Chain A
Amino acid sequence: MPNDKIQRIRDPIYGLIAFSPDDPVDSLCWRLVNTREFQRLRRIRQLGFSDLVYPGATHSRLAHSLGVFHNARRLLRHIKEASNHFSDRRALVTACAALLHDVGHGPFSHAFEHAVPARRKHEHWTAEIIRGDTEICNVLSAHDKELADEVADLFLRKEAKDIYDSVVSSQFDADRLDYLRRDRYMAGIGSGGFDFDWLFDALKVGKVTLGIKDDQDFSEVDGFVLGEKGLQAAESYLLARYHLYAQVYLHKTTRAAEVMLTALLTRLVSLLRDGNLKSTGLQKSDVLVRFLKSDKPRLSDYIMLDDAIVWSAIARMEAAGDGELSSLARGLRERALFKCFDVGALTDREKGDSLPRYKRLVKERFSAETGVPVLTDKAKLSAYGLYDYDERGAFQKVLIGRSNGNGHDDIADRSPIVKAMVPREVYRVYCADDTLMGSLRKLWEEVRQ
């Protein structure tokens, strides 16, 4: 495609996303959009199985990635306007990274990641695609030799060290700013909104403290800080994340399909490793078979995988000789999903301190080893997502400027709402039949007594 005119993409969230041929960043990124690895993202749904609950949620990772790029450009403009030493080079790397941040996602994302033997997170594949034998790497290298490595490093480092990195990875990054709006819109849910324009209007660049524990090695760097007028918008932004997780990403029905896909792929891997290809309904030449059998899967195979390949394999596994595989495949195809006992959703009063004991007993009594397979789903639902770590650097915080213009505070110290939002543990058990579900509920009653 000629690269000498403005390329415009219609987008349901932003209206128009344009790539100008006169802008070196736009021009390079447009060439990246047209690589086969980026175009593969058309065939990977952003929300995996969420359309089982929200039929409209069928948007692709490609649409999301374009939105992230759009937001990244906007954030970079903020940096340029506020900084005396803006780096065109860092901006170029950041824009490329924003556009390519999901290029390593596999089909059905996390459910797939958890089942494959050589467990690699999608960020790892992203880095491999960017610096491997790919069209993306060719485009970046044609621009200049070091660019592919610089973009890939950003994903491997996974640690924001300055304001440019924070555009790609922070509490207020281009990715989250897009998916919260896009996923809500496409799922059609009413809650989970936030004032996007006001939030951007309140955005400033200020000095923030980056720290390394132990050595008490702290340094001041530029970072995004919200003006005081952005406090309520920031609260809504964090609440939006909480609501999206509760209602969409961790929906118990969506998660039922995810745990079933993980179980199906785990079973498939086990059969393939035992040399039982015949009982899977698949062929040796299938790329999914080749990928799952290998301890060191090839990048060229990974790039071939998408949702369509997996759904096609699931259709054929429905006729598999292996009963477990066939039954899981049928369940996914017909939306006959496992039943769920959502223990984590019980009130604190109902749960008391019984949950850890229940989890332990479920593990002891209901597992593949005891011949009574039960699938579990565990997650943490948190509005102001923090890892279980001591460190919380400036880029993991939402910072609110003080009215006197002197410094800023963590939003948790300014907002009683945010402070009150304690993380909630998600713990569910899933199984195929009513009798087993009855046993699981009975066990809970026993533990509670």
Chain B
Amino acid sequence: MSDPVDMIVGIVALNGGKLVGRTRLQKTVYLLDACGMDSGLDYEYHNFGPFSVDVAEAADDACLLGTLRAEEYPGYHEVPYTVYTASASPPAAVGGMIANEAKVKLAAMGDYTAIELELAATYHYLKVNGYPANTSAEVARRKPTKATPDRMKRAKRLLTDLGLM
């Protein structure tokens, strides 16, 4: 298993040195793992979909170590959001995934909103964790406000783009 701190910094570096939002960070790492990054990190289901305490901790540690910078900004309706930046050179690989492959996946995710990432990650998590059939219905039950037909359509398209569907 790669060191999670290095991995998180590496992912931000490969994403052009910047990644916006804690939600996006969590779902990005989850989806890269689903694509074969093989981080060895644990995920648990929360109301916002699969969540890894290890990812949150690694991001905090990276900030303390100075390899990652996290700045919080007030967003719409005063909902804060965090901007992560990493000035390190992009690594040759993150976990078991070579840099070029990770970049392609990150670019694909960049075309989608954080909610769509959350829905895609939730769909994938439920599919492989007890809900192989009727997964969409299960996502809709759990996320009635977020899982609109349009967003679900785009979440599935993202999974297709990533080769996960």
Q: Which of A124, A161, A388 contacts B145 (CB 8 A)?
A: A161
Q: Which residue of B lies closest to A393 (CB)?
A: B79
- The distance in angstroms between the C-alpha atoms of A159 and B3, with both chains bound, is 32
**CB of B63 to closest CB in A, whole Å:** 9
Within 8 A of A (CB), among B37-52: 42, 44-48, 51
B10: shortest Cβ distance to chain A, in Å?
Answer: 15
A391 and B23 in contact, given A159-B145, A356-B61 (Cβ under 8 angstroms): yes
Q: Once bound together, how far apart are the Cα atoms of A387 and B143, in whole Å?
A: 18
Q: Give the residues in chain A near B75, CB-CB below 8 Å.
A: 213, 390
Taking the closest CB of chain A, its distance from the CB of B92, in whole angstroms, is 20
Per-residue A-contact encoding for B1-44, CB less than 8 Å = 1, 0 else: 00101000000000000000111001000000000000000101
Contact present for A390 and B45 (CB under 8 Å):
no
Determine whether the beta carbon of A388 is less than 8 Å from that of B144.
Answer: no
Q: A124-B45, A387-B46, A390-B22 are in contact. Are A216 and B76 (CB under 8 A)?
A: yes
* CB–CB A159/B47 < 8 A: yes
Contact A388 B22 (CB under 8 A): yes
CB of A157 within 8 A of CB of B144, answer: yes
Q: Known interface pairs A159-B142, A357-B65. Does A211 touch B46 (Cβ–Cβ under 8 Å)? A: no
| A389 interface neighbour in B48, B61, B64, Cβ under 8 Å | B48
Interface residues as binary, A151-177 with B (CB distance below 8 Å gives 1, 0 otherwise): 001001111010000000000000000
By the criterion of a CB under 8 Å from any partner CB, how many residues of chain A are at the interface? 33
Is the beta-carbon distance between A211 and B141 smaller than 8 angstroms? no
How many residues on B have C-beta within 8 angstroms of the other chain's C-beta atoms? 40
A378 within 8 A of B: yes
- B79 near A158: Cβ-Cβ < 8 Å: no
Q: Does B163 contact A (CB under 8 A)?
A: no
Interface string of A338-372 (1 = CB under 8 A from B): 00000000000000010111011001000000000
Report which B residues bind A (CB closer than 8 A): 3, 5, 21-23, 26, 42, 44-48, 51, 53, 56-57, 59-62, 64-66, 75-77, 79-82, 113-115, 138, 141-146
7 additional A-B pairs beyond A218-B77, A363-B3, A389-B48, beta carbons within 8 Å, are A119-B42, A157-B144, A159-B47, A356-B5, A387-B51, A390-B75, A392-B80
Q: 25 A-B contacts, Cβ less than 8 Å apart?
A: A119-B44, A156-B141, A156-B142, A157-B141, A157-B142, A161-B144, A210-B145, A211-B79, A212-B146, A213-B76, A214-B113, A214-B114, A215-B113, A216-B77, A356-B5, A363-B3, A388-B60, A390-B21, A390-B22, A390-B23, A390-B81, A390-B82, A391-B48, A391-B79, A392-B79
